[in-house]
Amino acid sequence: MNKKLIASAMGLVMAGGMGLANADVKLYGQVTLSLDAIDSDAAGFQDDINMNSNTSAFGIKGSEDLGNGLSAFFKLEYQLDPTERNANGSLTDRDQYIGLEMEGFGKVLFGTASTAYKSPGKQIDAFYRTNLQSRDIGLQSNLHSGAGEEGQGRGTNMVRYDTPSIGGLGLTATYQFDNNKGDGEDDDPYSVGVHYKGGGLYAAASYISTQRGGDDSAAQLLLKYTLGDLEFHGIYELDKGLITAQRSNGFATNLGRQGTAGDDGADIWSVGASYTLGNNIIGADFGQGDKSNGDDGLAGTADDVEEYTVWRLAAWHRFSKRTGVYAGYANTDYDVKGEDDIFSLGMRHSF
């Protein structure tokens, strides 16, 4: 691992610790580890039981009141893997940004943060940031994960604006700047979204595009309704090329133009419910991913995007607000590849 990165991270931890005396600076994080038994029909895959870290991370965040309803804020977060120690540079950056917030106007930030497409996804996933999370098993698309400038969930070189909530309604918009024009691409991704929360209902709709030209976008609708201890949720993601690109090997660039060879249609939908019983949460989900339209004969595009069905059954037990254990099973059945089965038993502690 880069020694300078380690030194910087230690400095952040120390700074955060000293800042705990101030209400506007906070050291926070979580450690989530699991034992995962994975059985896959994929060619060459060897079934095994392994220990994994599921987005264990720490960071510091804070704000300063500048007066007249204006404040500054920042966040510096890092992800690490306690199961691998320092192997393969296990410390990586996550959200890293600085911004301003004005009362009645909203907030604007600059740096690396979630797109308007990714942000609402965790609202309907009780097993977010575990090895059974929706985006990893196919209940949600890969546009809810990763980081970069091609529609990944966490956008780099970003400007993001969030309106204040008015009657439960809010808007989010992001724009990214391509820092490497020399790679032959000219993509400045943007995303827009609207969300509403009130009366037990949470609803969100969002759109994202890489602006590469051709089929390079996606849209989604999310709904969640809570009635006492029972909660229902669903998501539909409409592919206009971007989900196809993320599910295969990325954008095809050997067709005389940038884009996904005109392939789209890899829509994804899922529905689910959860029930809270004391300190326990039980959840079940079912979903489907469609095959892309078209067949261009090129590896890494439509030929690699096949239809599948997926279901998940899992449960949490909360010892406290900060500590819990979970167990669950998920099955993803592909038309050609075969089945992926995963059983996960894990624990999380937040601080």
- Distance between CA atoms of 118 and 116, rounded to whole angstroms? 6
Tell me: pLDDT of 183 over 80: no
- pLDDT tens-digit profile of 124-176? 999 999 999 999 999 999 999 988 888 899 999 999 999 999 999 999 999 99
Query: Where are the extended beta strands (E) located within the chain?
Result: 25-40, 48-53, 57-67, 70-79, 92-102, 106-114, 147-148, 154-162, 169-176, 190-198, 201-209, 217-227, 230-240, 268-277, 280-289, 308-318, 323-334, 338-350
CATH number at residue 244: 2.40.160.10
Mind listing the pLDDT tens digit for each residue in 75-97? Answer: 999 998 888 766 666 678 899 99
Residues 319-329 have pLDDT tens digits of 999 999 999 99
Taking residue 265's Cβ as centre, other Cβ atoms within 10 Å add up to 18
The residues, any chain, with a CB within 8 Å of residue 179's CB and separated by 6 or more, are 149, 156, 157
216 vs 125, more confident: 125
The answer to whether residues 179 and 157 touch, using CB atoms and an 8 Å cutoff, is: yes
| Count of domains for the chain | 1
Calculate mean pLDDT across residues 195-213.
93
For residue 256, the one-letter residue type is G
Q: Once rounded to an integer, what is the mean pLDDT over residues 193-217?
A: 91
Tell me what the mean pLDDT of segment 193-204 comes to: 96
Least confident of 166-175, 210-219, 283-292, 336-345: 210-219
| Average pLDDT of every residue of the chain | 86
To which residue do tokens 């510096």 refer? 76
Q: What is the average per-residue pLDDT within 49-62?
A: 93
Quote the CA–CA distance of 149 and 131 in Å, as a whole number. 25
| 251 — pLDDT class (breaks 50, 70, 90) | low
Instruction: Tally Cβ neighbours within 10 Å of residue 182.
Output: 6
Residue 298 banded pLDDT, cuts 50, 70, 90: very low
**Burial class (CB within 10 angstroms; exposed 0-12, middle 13-18, buried 19+) of 118:** buried
Q: pLDDT category, 6, cuts 50, 70, 90?
A: very low
Residue 12 pLDDT exceeds 60: no
pLDDT on residue 109: 98
Give the model's pLDDT for residue 289: 95
For the segment 218-245, the average pLDDT, to the nearest whole number, is: 95
- Return the higher-pLDDT residue of 216 and 77: 77
Q: Which residues contact 124 (CB under 8 A, 6 or more apart)?
A: 134, 202, 222, 223, 224, 233, 234, 235, 272
Please report, for residues 96, 202, 292, the alpha-carbon distance to residue 147 in angstroms, rounded to integers and kept in the order given. 12, 26, 23
Domain that holds residue 147: 3-350
Q: Which residues of 311-324 are buried (b: 16+ CB within 10 A; e: fewer)?
A: bbbbbbebeeeeeb
What per-residue confidence (pLDDT) applies to 14? 53
Among 6-20, 131-145, 169-183, 255-269, whose mean pLDDT is lowest?
A: 6-20
